[in-house]
Structure 1
Amino acid sequence: MHDTPFGQRLSTYMISQNIPDGAVPMSLLADHPNAQFDFYRPGLGTGAVERH
């Protein structure tokens, strides 16, 4: 719950694509051979698309 929904999704994407970067600390888990983590589902927000 300490990160924004965008930050959580960005970290997940970077880990899944094996893109570690010190600017996104959670992405450093991409270097770990057997990392497992879970999400607090209400913290992810909605995936709705908005047009302005």
Structure 2
Amino acid sequence: MAETYNGYCVKCREKRDFSGQVEESNGRRMAKGSCPTCGTKMARILGKAASPVK
């Protein structure tokens, strides 16, 4: 499921919208994708994953 996120491209030195997938590790979610202009890997930390309600 690819969604659009806004992140900073280090190579272009600009904020750009990129499409990526959400990966989860250590209770944190991160969107990973690539820059549509130059193809460099981009990432954005989304925050903690929602814990199940007890």
Sort the TM-score into its range (normalised by shorter chain). Answer: under 0.3
Higher helix fraction (1 or 2): 1
Tell me: higher relative CO, structure 1 or 2? Use CA pairs within 8 A at least 6 residues apart.
1
Report the TM-score, using the length of structure 2 for normalisation: 0.23
TM-score by length of 1: 0.23
Which structure is higher in strand share? Answer: 2
